[in-house]
Protein backbone atom coordinates (compact mmCIF):
# COMPACT_ATOMS: atom_id res chain seq x y z
CA UNK A 1 0.00 0.00 0.00
CA UNK A 2 0.97 3.62 -0.54
CA UNK A 3 1.75 6.16 2.17
CA UNK A 4 2.40 9.89 1.87
CA UNK A 5 5.41 11.10 3.89
CA UNK A 6 6.82 14.50 4.76
CA UNK A 7 10.21 14.55 3.03
CA UNK A 8 11.34 18.13 3.69
CA UNK A 9 10.05 21.07 5.72
CA UNK A 10 8.95 23.71 3.19
CA UNK A 11 10.16 27.31 3.22
CA UNK A 12 7.27 29.26 1.72
CA UNK A 13 4.82 27.41 -0.50
CA UNK A 14 5.30 23.60 -0.34
CA UNK A 15 6.42 21.95 -3.60
CA UNK A 16 7.25 18.48 -4.96
CA UNK A 17 10.25 18.20 -2.58
CA UNK A 18 7.96 18.53 0.42
CA UNK A 19 6.26 15.18 -0.15
CA UNK A 20 7.31 11.61 -0.83
CA UNK A 21 5.27 8.51 -1.61
CA UNK A 22 6.40 5.23 -0.05
CA UNK A 23 5.26 1.60 -0.12
CA UNK A 24 4.58 -0.20 3.13
CA UNK A 25 2.92 -3.39 4.36
CA UNK A 26 -0.83 -3.33 4.71
CA UNK A 27 -0.71 -5.28 8.01
CA UNK A 28 -3.42 -7.53 9.40
CA UNK A 29 -5.69 -7.01 12.38
CA UNK A 30 -5.16 -8.94 15.60
CA UNK A 31 -7.84 -9.68 18.18
CA UNK A 32 -9.64 -6.46 19.12
CA UNK A 33 -8.46 -4.68 15.95
CA UNK A 34 -9.97 -3.85 12.56
CA UNK A 35 -8.58 -3.39 9.04
CA UNK A 36 -9.75 -0.14 7.45
CA UNK A 37 -9.69 0.94 3.81
CA UNK A 38 -9.29 4.69 3.27
CA UNK A 39 -12.18 6.17 1.28
CA UNK A 40 -11.50 9.91 1.62
CA UNK A 41 -8.62 12.02 2.85
CA UNK A 42 -9.14 15.60 3.98
CA UNK A 43 -6.58 18.25 3.04
CA UNK A 44 -6.77 21.29 5.30
CA UNK A 45 -4.95 24.63 5.53
CA UNK A 46 -3.80 23.97 9.14
CA UNK A 47 -1.65 21.10 7.81
CA UNK A 48 0.73 23.72 6.42
CA UNK A 49 1.53 24.78 10.00
CA UNK A 50 2.34 21.18 10.93
CA UNK A 51 4.87 20.96 8.09
CA UNK A 52 6.99 23.57 9.92
CA UNK A 53 8.60 22.88 13.27
CA UNK A 54 7.50 26.17 14.84
CA UNK A 55 5.60 25.65 18.12
CA UNK A 56 1.83 25.65 17.67
CA UNK A 57 -1.35 24.18 19.07
CA UNK A 58 -0.74 20.93 17.14
CA UNK A 59 2.58 19.08 17.07
CA UNK A 60 4.64 19.29 13.84
CA UNK A 61 4.62 16.35 11.43
CA UNK A 62 7.80 14.24 11.74
CA UNK A 63 10.19 14.15 8.80
CA UNK A 64 10.09 10.80 6.99
CA UNK A 65 6.80 9.91 8.67
CA UNK A 66 3.33 9.85 7.10
CA UNK A 67 1.25 13.02 7.16
CA UNK A 68 -1.82 12.55 9.30
CA UNK A 69 -5.21 14.20 9.15
CA UNK A 70 -8.93 13.66 8.72
CA UNK A 71 -9.67 10.32 7.05
CA UNK A 72 -12.95 8.52 6.35
CA UNK A 73 -12.50 4.78 6.02
CA UNK A 74 -14.49 1.57 5.79
CA UNK A 75 -14.02 -1.54 7.90
CA UNK A 76 -13.04 -4.38 5.55
CA UNK A 77 -12.07 -6.94 8.21
CA UNK A 78 -13.05 -6.96 11.86
CA UNK A 79 -11.68 -8.84 14.85
CA UNK A 80 -13.56 -6.62 17.26
CA UNK A 81 -17.10 -6.61 18.66
CA UNK A 82 -17.20 -2.81 18.45
CA UNK A 83 -17.13 -2.45 14.66
CA UNK A 84 -18.36 -4.72 11.92
CA UNK A 85 -17.34 -5.19 8.31
CA UNK A 86 -18.84 -2.43 6.18
CA UNK A 87 -18.99 0.21 8.95
CA UNK A 88 -17.81 3.68 7.98
CA UNK A 89 -15.54 5.49 10.43
CA UNK A 90 -13.72 8.79 10.73
CA UNK A 91 -10.42 9.37 12.46
CA UNK A 92 -7.25 11.35 12.62
CA UNK A 93 -5.13 8.81 10.77
CA UNK A 94 -1.95 8.53 8.72
CA UNK A 95 -2.34 9.27 5.02
CA UNK A 96 -2.18 5.72 3.66
CA UNK A 97 -4.51 3.35 1.87
CA UNK A 98 -5.14 0.85 4.70
CA UNK A 99 -5.00 0.99 8.49
CA UNK A 100 -4.87 -1.58 11.26
CA UNK A 101 -6.55 0.19 14.17
CA UNK A 102 -8.27 -0.32 17.48
CA UNK A 103 -11.92 0.79 17.24
CA UNK A 104 -11.33 3.28 20.08
CA UNK A 105 -9.05 5.31 17.76
CA UNK A 106 -11.84 6.07 15.30
CA UNK A 107 -15.52 6.97 15.53
CA UNK A 108 -18.39 5.47 13.60
CA UNK A 109 -19.96 7.88 11.15
CA UNK A 110 -23.69 8.43 10.73
CA UNK A 111 -23.95 9.81 7.23
CA UNK A 112 -27.68 10.56 7.28
CA UNK A 113 -28.02 9.33 3.72
CA UNK A 114 -25.20 11.58 2.49
CA UNK A 115 -21.98 10.40 0.93
CA UNK A 116 -19.48 9.62 3.74
CA UNK A 117 -17.31 12.50 2.48
CA UNK A 118 -19.74 14.80 4.37
CA UNK A 119 -18.11 13.56 7.59
CA UNK A 120 -15.02 15.55 6.56
CA UNK A 121 -16.90 18.64 5.36
CA UNK A 122 -20.29 20.01 6.37
CA UNK A 123 -20.83 17.36 9.07
CA UNK A 124 -17.21 17.31 10.15
CA UNK A 125 -14.50 19.61 11.40
CA UNK A 126 -15.09 22.51 8.95
CA UNK A 127 -18.86 22.54 9.60
CA UNK A 128 -18.33 22.55 13.35
CA UNK A 129 -15.71 25.30 13.04
CA UNK A 130 -18.13 27.50 11.14
CA UNK A 131 -20.87 26.80 13.66
CA UNK A 132 -18.88 27.68 16.77
CA UNK A 133 -17.11 30.70 15.29
CA UNK A 134 -20.32 32.18 13.95
CA UNK A 135 -22.87 31.15 16.59
CA UNK A 136 -20.78 31.22 19.79
CA UNK A 137 -18.48 34.17 18.99
CA UNK A 138 -19.94 36.15 16.07
CA UNK A 139 -23.54 35.87 17.37
CA UNK A 140 -25.15 37.61 14.38
CA UNK A 141 -28.45 39.37 15.00
CA UNK A 142 -31.33 40.17 12.68
CA UNK A 143 -30.50 43.07 10.39
CA UNK A 144 -26.78 43.16 11.21
CA UNK A 145 -24.10 43.14 8.53
CA UNK A 146 -21.86 40.07 8.51
CA UNK A 147 -18.79 39.66 6.31
CA UNK A 148 -17.14 36.27 5.78
CA UNK A 149 -13.73 35.95 4.08
CA UNK A 150 -12.80 32.69 2.36
CA UNK A 151 -16.56 32.65 1.81
CA UNK A 152 -16.76 29.82 -0.74
CA UNK A 153 -14.48 27.44 1.18
CA UNK A 154 -15.22 24.57 3.53
CA UNK A 155 -15.74 26.74 6.61
CA UNK A 156 -16.92 29.90 4.83
CA UNK A 157 -19.75 28.18 2.92
CA UNK A 158 -21.34 27.07 6.20
CA UNK A 159 -20.54 30.23 8.20
CA UNK A 160 -22.32 32.49 5.71
CA UNK A 161 -25.48 30.39 5.61
CA UNK A 162 -25.68 30.31 9.41
CA UNK A 163 -25.48 34.12 9.54
CA UNK A 164 -28.16 34.34 6.86
CA UNK A 165 -30.44 32.05 8.88
CA UNK A 166 -29.97 34.38 11.85
CA UNK A 167 -31.45 37.17 9.73
CA UNK A 168 -28.24 39.07 8.97
CA UNK A 169 -27.23 40.79 5.74
CA UNK A 170 -24.32 38.64 4.59
CA UNK A 171 -21.42 39.53 2.34
CA UNK A 172 -18.75 37.07 1.21
CA UNK A 173 -15.20 37.80 0.09
CA UNK A 174 -13.98 35.42 -2.63
CA UNK A 175 -11.17 34.99 -5.16
CA UNK A 176 -13.12 34.42 -8.39
CA UNK A 177 -16.26 35.20 -10.32
CA UNK A 178 -17.27 31.52 -10.22
CA UNK A 179 -17.11 31.60 -6.42
CA UNK A 180 -19.03 34.89 -6.34
CA UNK A 181 -21.88 33.23 -8.28
CA UNK A 182 -21.71 30.14 -6.09
CA UNK A 183 -22.13 32.00 -2.82
CA UNK A 184 -24.92 34.22 -4.11
CA UNK A 185 -26.88 31.68 -6.11
CA UNK A 186 -26.40 28.49 -4.12
CA UNK A 187 -25.73 29.72 -0.60
CA UNK A 188 -27.96 32.78 -0.49
CA UNK A 189 -25.27 35.33 0.38
CA UNK A 190 -26.63 38.84 -0.28
CA UNK A 191 -23.47 40.04 -1.95
CA UNK A 192 -20.07 38.83 -3.08
CA UNK A 193 -16.92 40.92 -3.23
CA UNK A 194 -13.94 39.76 -5.31
CA UNK A 195 -10.65 40.59 -3.62
CA UNK A 196 -8.48 40.01 -6.71
CA UNK A 197 -10.19 42.88 -8.54
CA UNK A 198 -8.52 46.32 -8.47
CA UNK A 199 -11.56 48.01 -6.99
CA UNK A 200 -11.86 45.58 -4.04
CA UNK A 201 -11.86 48.32 -1.39
CA UNK A 202 -14.58 50.24 -3.18
CA UNK A 203 -16.69 47.10 -3.76
CA UNK A 204 -16.42 46.26 -0.07
CA UNK A 205 -17.43 49.76 1.10
CA UNK A 206 -20.37 49.78 -1.29
CA UNK A 207 -21.49 46.37 -0.04
CA UNK A 208 -21.42 47.55 3.61
CA UNK A 209 -23.17 50.92 3.74
CA UNK A 210 -24.06 50.32 7.40
CA UNK A 211 -20.60 49.16 8.45
CA UNK A 212 -19.75 45.65 9.66
CA UNK A 213 -21.09 44.02 12.84
CA UNK A 214 -19.48 40.59 12.49
CA UNK A 215 -16.34 39.78 10.52
CA UNK A 216 -15.65 36.04 10.27
CA UNK A 217 -11.90 36.03 9.65
CA UNK A 218 -10.51 33.20 7.54
CA UNK A 219 -7.70 34.86 5.58
CA UNK A 220 -5.87 37.74 7.35
CA UNK A 221 -3.37 39.95 5.53
CA UNK A 222 -4.22 42.78 3.19
CA UNK A 223 -7.78 41.71 2.52
CA UNK A 224 -8.67 42.17 6.15
CA UNK A 225 -6.89 45.53 6.37
CA UNK A 226 -9.84 46.91 4.42
CA UNK A 227 -12.32 45.47 6.92
CA UNK A 228 -11.06 47.10 10.13
CA UNK A 229 -12.03 50.72 9.36
CA UNK A 230 -15.58 49.55 8.61
CA UNK A 231 -16.17 47.80 11.94
CA UNK A 232 -19.11 49.14 13.92
CA UNK A 233 -19.11 49.80 17.64
CA UNK A 234 -19.25 46.49 19.51
CA UNK A 235 -18.49 44.46 16.40
CA UNK A 236 -17.42 40.85 16.93
CA UNK A 237 -14.55 39.25 15.04
CA UNK A 238 -14.21 35.46 15.32
CA UNK A 239 -10.63 34.87 14.17
CA UNK A 240 -10.72 31.42 12.60
CA UNK A 241 -7.63 31.45 10.40
CA UNK A 242 -5.19 33.58 8.40
CA UNK A 243 -4.39 31.51 5.31
CA UNK A 244 -2.78 34.51 3.57
CA UNK A 245 0.20 34.22 5.92
CA UNK A 246 0.68 30.44 6.05
CA UNK A 247 3.25 30.32 3.23
CA UNK A 248 5.44 33.26 4.20
CA UNK A 249 9.13 32.51 3.61
CA UNK A 250 11.63 32.61 6.43
CA UNK A 251 12.31 36.21 7.41
CA UNK A 252 9.44 37.52 5.27
CA UNK A 253 7.47 40.09 7.22
CA UNK A 254 4.23 38.81 8.68
CA UNK A 255 1.46 40.69 6.97
CA UNK A 256 -0.53 39.95 10.15
CA UNK A 257 -3.28 41.96 11.69
CA UNK A 258 -2.82 45.73 11.87
CA UNK A 259 -5.97 46.16 13.76
CA UNK A 260 -5.47 47.54 17.26
CA UNK A 261 -6.54 51.14 16.63
CA UNK A 262 -9.87 50.00 15.20
CA UNK A 263 -10.45 47.46 17.94
CA UNK A 264 -10.12 50.17 20.59
CA UNK A 265 -12.11 52.84 18.79
CA UNK A 266 -15.11 50.62 18.13
CA UNK A 267 -14.69 48.39 21.25
CA UNK A 268 -14.58 45.37 19.00
CA UNK A 269 -14.64 41.89 20.46
CA UNK A 270 -12.06 39.89 18.56
CA UNK A 271 -11.49 36.30 19.57
CA UNK A 272 -9.22 33.63 18.23
CA UNK A 273 -10.55 30.09 18.57
CA UNK A 274 -9.80 26.49 17.76
CA UNK A 275 -12.71 24.21 16.97
CA UNK A 276 -11.54 21.85 19.75
CA UNK A 277 -12.24 24.56 22.36
CA UNK A 278 -15.90 23.69 21.86
CA UNK A 279 -15.66 19.92 22.12
CA UNK A 280 -18.30 19.85 24.88
CA UNK A 281 -20.80 21.18 22.32
CA UNK A 282 -19.96 18.93 19.34
CA UNK A 283 -23.06 16.77 19.72
CA UNK A 284 -25.45 19.72 19.80
CA UNK A 285 -23.73 21.44 16.84
CA UNK A 286 -23.68 18.24 14.83
CA UNK A 287 -27.44 17.82 15.39
CA UNK A 288 -28.12 21.39 14.26
CA UNK A 289 -26.02 21.02 11.11
CA UNK A 290 -27.39 17.57 10.24
CA UNK A 291 -30.98 18.80 10.70
CA UNK A 292 -30.36 21.82 8.48
CA UNK A 293 -28.78 19.66 5.75
CA UNK A 294 -31.64 17.18 5.91
CA UNK A 295 -34.24 19.95 5.58
CA UNK A 296 -32.38 21.35 2.58
CA UNK A 297 -31.55 24.53 4.49
CA UNK A 298 -27.79 24.11 4.44
CA UNK A 299 -26.16 23.67 1.06
CA UNK A 300 -22.57 22.52 0.64
CA UNK A 301 -20.11 21.64 -2.09
CA UNK A 302 -17.06 19.42 -2.11
CA UNK A 303 -14.23 19.55 -4.63
CA UNK A 304 -13.03 15.98 -4.93
CA UNK A 305 -9.73 14.90 -6.49
CA UNK A 306 -9.54 11.22 -7.45
CA UNK A 307 -6.62 9.01 -6.39
CA UNK A 308 -4.20 8.76 -3.45
CA UNK A 309 -1.41 10.29 -5.55
CA UNK A 310 -3.45 13.50 -5.89
CA UNK A 311 -3.13 14.43 -2.19
CA UNK A 312 -0.22 16.91 -2.65
CA UNK A 313 -1.94 18.61 -5.58
CA UNK A 314 -5.21 18.86 -3.67
CA UNK A 315 -3.43 20.30 -0.63
CA UNK A 316 -1.60 22.92 -2.73
CA UNK A 317 -4.90 23.80 -4.42
CA UNK A 318 -6.06 25.27 -1.11
CA UNK A 319 -3.53 28.08 -1.51
CA UNK A 320 -4.42 28.90 -5.11
CA UNK A 321 -8.15 28.75 -4.46
CA UNK A 322 -8.74 25.64 -6.60
CA UNK A 323 -11.57 24.49 -4.38
CA UNK A 324 -15.21 25.40 -4.04
CA UNK A 325 -16.37 24.11 -0.67
CA UNK A 326 -14.38 21.36 1.02
CA UNK A 327 -11.27 20.10 -0.71
CA UNK A 328 -11.08 16.29 -0.49
CA UNK A 329 -9.30 13.36 -2.10
CA UNK A 330 -11.21 10.20 -2.94
CA UNK A 331 -8.94 7.21 -2.48
CA UNK A 332 -11.30 4.25 -2.96
CA UNK A 333 -14.92 3.32 -3.57
CA UNK A 334 -17.01 1.96 -0.72
Could you give the string, one character per residue 182-221, with x where binding to ligand NDP holds by CB under 6 A and - elsewhere? Answer: ------------------------------------xx--
- What SS3 state is found at 327? strand
Which of 154, 162, 180, 290 is the binder for ligand NDP (CB under 6 A)?
154
Q: Is residue 156 involved in binding ligand NDP (CB under 6 A)?
A: yes
Using CB under 6 A, pick the residue from 36, 135, 155, 166 that binds ligand NDP. Answer: 155
The Cα diameter of the chain in Å comes to: 64
Q: How far is the CB of 98 from ligand NDP (least distance, A)?
A: 26
Q: By C-beta, is 116 or 150 nearer to ligand NDP?
A: 150
127 part of the interface to ligand NDP, by CB under 6 A: no
Q: Please report whether residue 174 would count as binding ligand NDP according to CB under 6 A.
A: yes
CB of 69 or CB of 150, closer to ligand NDP = 150
Q: Which of residues 44-83 bind ligand NDP (CB under 6 A)?
A: 44-46
Q: Please, which of residues 230-249 interact with ligand NDP by CB under 6 A?
A: 240-244
Applying CB under 6 A, among 38, 68, 145, 323 the residue interacting with ligand NDP is: 323
Q: Minimum CB separation from ligand NDP for residue 174, in Å?
A: 4
* CB of residue 316 to ligand NDP, shortest distance in Å: 10
Whether residue 289 contacts residue 122, with contact meaning beta carbons closer than 8 Å, is answered with: yes
Beta strands per DSSP E along the chain: 2-6, 19-23, 34-42, 68-78, 88-94, 98-101, 107-108, 145-149, 169-174, 191-194, 212-216, 231-239, 269-272, 302-306, 326-330
Closer CB to ligand NDP, residue 132 or residue 262?
A: 132
With contacts defined by CB under 6 A, name the span among 72-80, 95-103, 203-211, 315-323 that binds ligand NDP. 315-323
300 and 324 Cβ atoms separated by less than 8 Å: no
Torsion from C-alpha of 68, 74, 76, 77, nearest 10 degrees = 70
Nearest to 30 by CA among 76, 79, 90: 79
Amino acid sequence: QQQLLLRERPNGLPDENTFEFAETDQGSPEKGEVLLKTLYVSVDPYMRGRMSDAPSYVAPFELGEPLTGGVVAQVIESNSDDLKKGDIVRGNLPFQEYHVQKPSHVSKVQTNGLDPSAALSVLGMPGLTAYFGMMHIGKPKEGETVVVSGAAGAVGQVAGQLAKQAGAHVIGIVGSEEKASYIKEKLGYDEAVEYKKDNFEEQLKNACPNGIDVYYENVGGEISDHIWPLLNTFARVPVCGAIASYNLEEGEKDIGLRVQQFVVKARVLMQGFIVGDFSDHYAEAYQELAKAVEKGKLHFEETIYEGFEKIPEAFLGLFSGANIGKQLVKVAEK
